[in-house]
Amino acid sequence: MAGAVFHAPLIRSDPGLKLAKIVTSRREQVAKDLPGVAVAAGIEDVFSDPAIDLVVIASPSAHHYEHARAALLAGKNVVVDKPLATSSREARELIELAGRRGRVLSVFQNRRWDNDYLTVKHSIERGWLGKVFHYEVHFDRFRPDIKAGWREVPGPGAGILYDLGAHLVDQSLQLFGMPRAVTADIIAQREAAKVEDYFHLVLDYFPLRVILHAATLVVQPGPRFIVHGDGGSFLKYGIDGQEEALKHGQRPGDAEWGGDSPENCGEFTPAGGTPRKVETLRGGYERYYEALAACLETGGPPPVDPRDSRDGLIIIEAAQRSAAERRTIRL
């Protein structure tokens, strides 16, 4: 899904990039959906092609490290779908290798460009909430049945924490930096689940508390974002719709792209004041590849620093240890 739904359409929407080859067994799908794009028999066909400047790793998470390492050793610039690796040690090795090779390494943390997150970020940065004491975000869904796929099979990078948690942790890092400590509850709730499908993380930014939560047995989700400060409170329902839009064939530039339903607009209540609706800022996953193209052309910074993803993996590892040992882990 990562290649077909996210990367291929977004790359093709940017005039500064050309999608040249795809490594996949689904030749017919590529011929139908992406006429003119070559299908490579194996990853070495891409690494050995001198005309290719950038390789996007959209394989299962357990293979991110080996594929990204091989691409860097082949002299390619590299984008890795989140997570960068399945351990902070592997992430550090990739970062060091990219530095030695003088190559760009970045991570596709597309939910930095979610419309709901951008709106919350804007409200915090504008000072509407004053000093923030409580930040809570939910990624709740109702999926009682186990979907076939590698994410549901025990192994490195499987489970909901590496999948959805990587996004929520990254957003928190962008807003508040590294926490002092992590306390986590991570379990499998569905009867047939073989990997965790529920997590509840509390990140300590004393006196601020950040709560990151995801579950798969939620029929009626509550607010997606809840933020409280001494200047007011902000609540936001609904989730950014760009993923669903891409699945249904919509593309950046379409009239409704990155927008939000009026009924999902957030509500800001100032301290001692009257609640008011806040128009949702427009999201834009395409901005990642726009910034990446500029980075490759001018030598500027990548849209996502891989050290951010390394820090995210440090938090995920601390959360796993916290849940296993039933205690708070200091960072």
Q: Let me know whether 60 and 84 are in one domain.
A: yes
Q: Let me know whether 271 and 178 are in one domain.
A: yes
CA distances from residue 92 to 1, 17, 63 in whole angstroms, order as listed? 27, 28, 16
Q: Let me know whether 98 and 159 are in one domain.
A: no
Residue 51 maps to a domain? yes
Tell me the pTM.
0.95
CA distances from residue 193 to 39, 40, 228 in whole angstroms, order as listed? 35, 35, 34
Q: Let me know whether 9 and 145 are in one domain.
A: no
Report the number of distinct structural domains present in the chain: 2
Q: Let me know whether 66 and 119 are in one domain.
A: no
Q: Let me know whether 192 and 92 are in one domain.
A: no
Q: Let me know whether 233 and 118 are in one domain.
A: yes
Domain range for 264 is 111-288+314-330
Judge whether residue 130 has pLDDT over 90.
yes
Judge whether residue 41 has pLDDT over 90.
no
Tokens of 288: 């990642």
Residue-wise pLDDT for 264-310, tens only, equals 999 999 999 999 999 999 999 999 999 999 999 999 999 999 999 99
Residue 293 maps to a domain? no
Judge whether residue 318 has pLDDT over 90.
yes
Q: How far apart are CA 185 and CA 168, in angstroms?
A: 15
Q: Let me know whether 206 and 248 are in one domain.
A: yes
pLDDT bin (cut points 50, 70, 90) of residue 210 is very high
Q: Let me know whether 126 and 136 are in one domain.
A: yes
